Structure 1
Amino acid sequence: MPASTVRNLLVRGMLAGLVAGVIAFAFAFFVGEGPVDQSIALESTAAAPQHVHGGDTAAAPAAPAAEEEEELVSRSLQSTAGLATGVLVYGVALGGIAALVYSFALGRIGRFSPRASAALVAAAAFTTVYLVPFLKYPATPPAVGNPDTIGKRTTLFFLMVLLSVLIGVAALILGRRLAPRLGNWNASVVAGLAFAVAVTLAFVFLPGNGDAVRESFPAALLWKFRVATLGIQAVLWTAFALVFGLLAERLLAPRQAPAAPAAAPVPAA
């Protein structure tokens, strides 16, 4: 593929990522911020000091209040400008990377249209980069997780991302090599099963993070937060696939100009 076409696809991928980031931000603000606020409020209530009063005795003297740490960024700013900045930068970055992957994969994953190829690349990226690692190490609400295990959980999550991507690439190579002998459909099924088996083995042998959330934390709120987190990623990648597929199709398969009407035959003398 010419370098100019790759550059144009990169620009369109980043633009599609920006549009997808705007849509994902709207979803995160209206759907995801509710569980986050509830989690923070619940944690603040649990951390508040409890005053115990005796029957006939006076209330115990309060201990000297510890100086509260000054909040550098307010919660309202975090949930608006901060959230928007993070999601938009994330969308543009992933859009550019996905566009480069699309440029490499185009024509190598089958004879699909530009839109279909964009949908396949986005689906593969969502599955390997987020869905599979999320199933092993799901998201934890802020201010709720065990602070002593943050480093460990972060390392394990990115290790799972790396393994998922490598397994996905290996499954793709396996499918391409089996296609001449088994056919495209059978080779795809075998590659998909191999991917599922390898991911299952990774789930079994990698350590868990069961201590990430306290047992007393409400299960319904935890479920709501994790569904919202997964929904943000699903909305982001779906919007990217639709927008980038349209832009890529206009670039790679431009509409042909309508043919000029044929001249009327000249009557014979």
Structure 2
Amino acid sequence: MNSPSVRALLVRGMLAGLAAGALALLVAYFLGEPKVDAAIAIEEAAAAAEGSGHDHGEEAPVSRTLQATAGLGTGVLLYGVALGGIAALVFCFALGRIGRFSPRTTAALTTLGLYVTVTLVPFFKYPANPPAVGDPETAGRRTALYLLMIALSVLLAAGAVILGRRLAPALGNWNASVAGAVFFIAAVTLSYALLPGIDEIPADFPATLIWQFRLSSLAIQTALWASFGLVFGALAERLLVPAGGSREAGKEAAQPTG
């Protein structure tokens, strides 16, 4: 694939990420923020009951209203743009290398793979918790473990793809794909067992709120990835397949040049 096409796909990926971020922002505001407010209210009530000495009359540097609107919007939209750019580069590498698929199908498969490796695998080991949950002194360790799980997931997924391609001539595409998937699942399971767990949820914190917050966090990520895959697939198809082009033309456009 030539450099102009990569640049054009990168721009389209960032635009698709911006559009996906806008949808994820709506989900975060209407579904996620109420759970954050509920968790903060519980934390403040517990601190007041214990007389922890917090000065509740002192205003925070950034108001909660600003955090839930401008702060949330800026963070989610920038995250969407960055995610879109990275996903577009992954798409450029995958195009024509994972099979003779059209650009739209390749975009869908690439997005699904990134969603599984970057979101689902880390989520099931280190799920998101409300702001009132967790020891502030272990925040750095928890963040490092979460990022390590993402890195391991991506590396294991890449290894599974490579394994599948190596086995394809001997086993056929379907059996090789199954073997790669089994390797990925087994390796992720081993990683789950070896990496330390984190359990800092207070015994008196409502379990229902914990799971509502986690499900809303997963819903935000799902909305982001799904909308990105749909929008970017359409944009990539329009760029790489000429107007009125046939399905075969789309497959020819998907062939790698290097």
Checking the alignment, whether the CA contact within 8 Å between 1:6 and 1:100 is kept in structure 2 is yes
C-alpha deviation, 1:35, in angstroms: 0.8
Q: CA deviation at 1:144?
A: 2.4
Equivalent residues of 1:171, 1:194 under 8 A apart: yes
The answer for the alignment partner of 1:267 in structure 2 is: none
Match of 1:99? 88
Residues 90 and 64 (structure 1), Cα distance of their counterparts in 2 relative to 1, 3 Å cut = closer
For 2:241 and 2:166, locate their aligned partners in 1 and report how far apart those are by CA, in whole Å: 29
Q: Per-residue displacement from partner, 1:225-261 (whole Å, max 9, x unpaired)?
A: 000001100100000000000000000112138xxxx
Q: What does residue 235 of structure 1 align with?
A: 223
Greater fraction helix? 2
Q: Is the 8 A contact 2:108 2:229 kept in 1?
A: yes
State how far apart, in whole Å, the 1-side matches of 2:54 and 2:179 are: 64
Q: Is the 8 A contact 1:40 1:144 kept in 2?
A: no
| Aligned partner (choices 56, 79, 87) of residue 90 of structure 1 | 79
Asked if the contact 2:47–2:54 (Cα under 8 Å) also holds between the matched residues in 1, the reply is no
Q: C-alpha displacement at 1:30, in angstroms?
A: 0.7
In structure 2, the gaps of 5 or more residues are 246-258
Of 149, 163, 167 in structure 2, the residue corresponding to residue 178 of structure 1 is 167
Cα distance in 2 for partners of 1:216, 1:247 equals 49
Residue 65 of structure 1: how far off its partner (Å) = 8.1
CA distance in 1, matches of 2:222, 2:53: 48
Instruction: Report the Cα offset of residue 170 of structure 1.
Output: 0.3
Closer, same or farther: CA 66–236 of 1 in aligned 2, 3 Å: closer
Deviations 1:66-122 (A, max 9, x none): 575431111111111110100000000010010011001100000111111001111
Please, which runs of 5 or more residues in structure 1 have no aligned partner?
Answer: 52-62, 258-269
Specify the code of the residue in structure 1 equivalent to 2:157. G
Alignment of 1:91-240 (within 5 A): 91-211=80-200, 213-240=201-228
Report if the CA contact (8 A) 2:111-2:229 is conserved. yes
Matching residue of 2:243: 255
TM-score by length of 2: 0.91
TM-score, normalised with respect to structure 1: 0.88
| SS of match in other structure, 2:191 | helix
Give the deviation of 1:140 after TM superposition. 1.1
Contact 2:168 2:175 in 1 (8 A): yes
Q: Which residue of 1 aligns with 2:255?
A: none
- Counterpart AA for 1:87: V
Q: Hey, what's the Cα distance between the residues in 1 that align with 2:56 and 2:41? A: 20
In structure 1, C-alpha distance between the alignment counterparts of 2:56 and 2:227, rounded to whole Å: 46
Asked if structure 2 preserves the Cα contact closer than 8 Å seen for 1:129 and 1:164, the reply is yes
Report if aligned partners of 2:20, 2:80 keep a CA contact under 8 Å in 1: yes
Question: For this pair of structures, how many residues does the alignment match?
Answer: 245
C-alpha deviations, 1:24-69, integer Å up to 9, x for none?
Answer: 0001101111111100001111110468xxxxxxxxxxx9985754
Name the residue aligned to 2:5.
5
Q: CA RMSD in A?
A: 1.7
**Are 2:103 and 2:237, in contact at CA under 8 Å, matched by a contact in 1?**
yes
Amino acid at match of 1:82: G
- Whole-angstrom CA distance in 1 between matches of 2:93 and 2:203: 46
Deviations 1:114-158 (A, max 9, x none): 111001111111111111011100111013222122111111000
Residue 215 (structure 1) shift: 1.7
